[in-house]
Amino acid sequence: MKNWITKYRANQLANNTAWMLLGQGLCLFIQAAYFVIIARSLGVQQYGAFIAAAAFVQILSPFVGFGGGNLLVKNVAQDKKLFAVYWGNLLFMTLTSGLAATAFVIAVARLVLPPSIPLLVIVLVSLADLIFSRLVECAAFAFQAIERLDVTAQLKIWAALTRLMGIALLAAILRHPDARHWSFVYLLTTIIGATLGLVWVHIRIGRPRLLLGAIRGEFIQGLYFSASLSAQNIYNDIDKTMLARMATLDAVGIYAVAYRIIDIAFIPVRSLLYSAYAGFFRAGQDGISGTIRYMRRLLPKSACYSFLAFLGLILGAPIVRYLFGSEYARTVEALRWLAVLPLLKTVHYFLADTLTCSGHQGCRALIQGMVAGFNVVINLWIIPLYSWRGAAWSSVASDTLLAASMYLAVLVMSRASKQPKRYQAGDLGRAPMACSPGNAVENIDPVSLQCVSVTSPPNRVRADTSW
């Protein structure tokens, strides 16, 4: 029976990954179509204005919902009966925090972004990315939690098709649209995608139920998820905003196109990570040794693909000038500087999920926060001197530092789990939320001081797995 369950889950992971690859593959062609249309129709300056506004908004986007999506996947992966409560809490937190974040972005935008970017663009992009895009993500988390990635893939395809039809219609109506026109279409198509996603969840899974007590109980852990995602967006996107402020919008456009191609090349690995997330949480019930074993099954083949993608990006970079026009000729050099990123991202994403799903999300958030700070500091120095080349160099340096730090953290946590230190939960200065005063605690997250494993009775034997 146990072998059958293992085989079924392996097949389920393969099927889910295949669905995500199919969905992402179709989305790739759809996105490539509207990506080329928008880049050519807007031109490098107007495209740079839109990207700068979107990058700034994305910094706050992870705090919308306060990590409720990750908590939904974590809890429902272990007990599907909890779906209604965590789904209702996720929608409540997304709407309330999304409105607050939108108001904040609009209030401070002029202090960060150059005055050449219209305020209307900032407002429209904020509404799209901080409210309606997050509702689309909520629907994606819902189907990810029950491991129905086929529905997730269909949802993404329909959302991409809606956006393609919107930009195609805009290009047909206006010969030379600007960032304001595209921002309006961007908001409208995102609203349609969010409506579709919420309706699908209601029909195929069930209704939400609000339970504020559950929000209070896991708020700190959710905040760690939000901080982690925010740091990730900072070291991925803050360079585009800083380029707009300290260089030119042309530089933003050149760099943004190259980075977008990198994101497209990373889609297959992202699909696997997305499909394996619930499985990572189940493996994490055995502690970090369980998530390491799970990671070892998936990382080698993903790293091989990323290395091939690196070679393809280096050799195929000259195609860019033919796809986007002569004004994007310098994107060829930018793409070659960034070509190693898919390999670095593959390594640090798998290591990061190994930490998260074994109860060490606080450690992951701390590492990502430090790398985000490093990225901002080095960009303050290097972008004024080297423009988009400096941004590319700082991105490679940040991802390298992140991969090395995640590896070191997993290694330290793995070794610590083999030499458990025993405490009484009541003896700790800050009693961990998951511990009872009489339980013996074997492992504690050094950042959050929350229990990673609790043993009762104290003579439980832990499996020794080498790292």
Alpha-helical (H) ranges within 205-248 are: 212-217, 219-246
The whole-angstrom separation of Cα 90 and Cα 166 is 29
Residue 421 CB burial class (10 angstroms; 0-12, 13-18, ≥19)? exposed
At 238, the pLDDT band (50, 70, 90 cuts) reads: confident
pTM of the predicted model as reported, rounded to 2 decimal places: 0.70
247 pLDDT exceeds 50? yes
Secondary structure (3-state) at 105: helix
DSSP state of 81: G
CB atoms within 10 A of CB 107: 9
List pLDDT tens digits, range 129-158.
999 999 998 998 999 888 888 888 888 888
Secondary structure (3-state) at 248: coil
Tokens for 219? 């708020």
Q: Which of 2-16, 136-150, 408-422 has the lowest average pLDDT?
A: 2-16
Residue 222 · residue 74 · CB < 8 Å: no
Alpha carbon separation from 107 to 111, 122, 123, 134, 178 (Å, rounded): 9, 10, 10, 20, 23
CB atoms within 10 A of CB 24: 20
Tokens for 52? 């700068």
Give me the chain's average pLDDT, please: 82
Residue 409 · residue 367 · CB < 8 Å: yes
Secondary structure (3-state) at 258: helix
Q: What is the pLDDT of residue 443?
A: 47
Work out the average pLDDT over 417-439.
50
The whole-angstrom separation of Cα 353 and Cα 270 is 12
Residue 250 · residue 51 · CB < 8 Å: no
Secondary structure (3-state) at 118: coil
CB atoms within 10 A of CB 384: 13
Nearest to 220 by CA among 432, 455, 443: 432
CB atoms within 10 A of CB 47: 26
Backbone angles phi, psi at 447, to 5 degrees: -95, -50
Residue 383 · residue 243 · CB < 8 Å: yes
Give all strands of the β-sheet with 423-424 in edge-to-edge order.
Answer: 423-424, 440-444, 451-455
39 pLDDT exceeds 60? yes
342 pLDDT exceeds 90? yes
**Domain residue ranges in the chain:** 14-217, 237-435
Phi-psi region of 209 (alpha: psi -120 to 50; beta: other; left: phi over 0): beta
Residue 117 · residue 53 · CB < 8 Å: yes
Provide, rounded to the nearest whole percent, the portion of the chain with pLDDT above 70.
87
Residue 208 · residue 72 · CB < 8 Å: no
Q: What is the pLDDT of residue 53?
A: 84
List pLDDT tens digits, range 395-407.
999 999 999 999 9
Angle at 223 between CA 222 and CA 225, to 5 degrees: 65
At 420, the pLDDT band (50, 70, 90 cuts) reads: low
Residue 6 CB burial class (10 angstroms; 0-12, 13-18, ≥19)? exposed
192 pLDDT exceeds 90? yes
434 pLDDT exceeds 70? no
Q: What is the pLDDT of residue 466?
A: 34
Secondary structure (3-state) at 140: helix
At 409, the pLDDT band (50, 70, 90 cuts) reads: very high
The whole-angstrom separation of Cα 369 and Cα 76 is 28
461 pLDDT exceeds 90? no
Provide, rounded to the nearest whole percent, the portion of the chain with pLDDT above 90.
33
Find which of 53-67, 181-195, 274-288 is predicted with most confidence, using mean pLDDT: 181-195
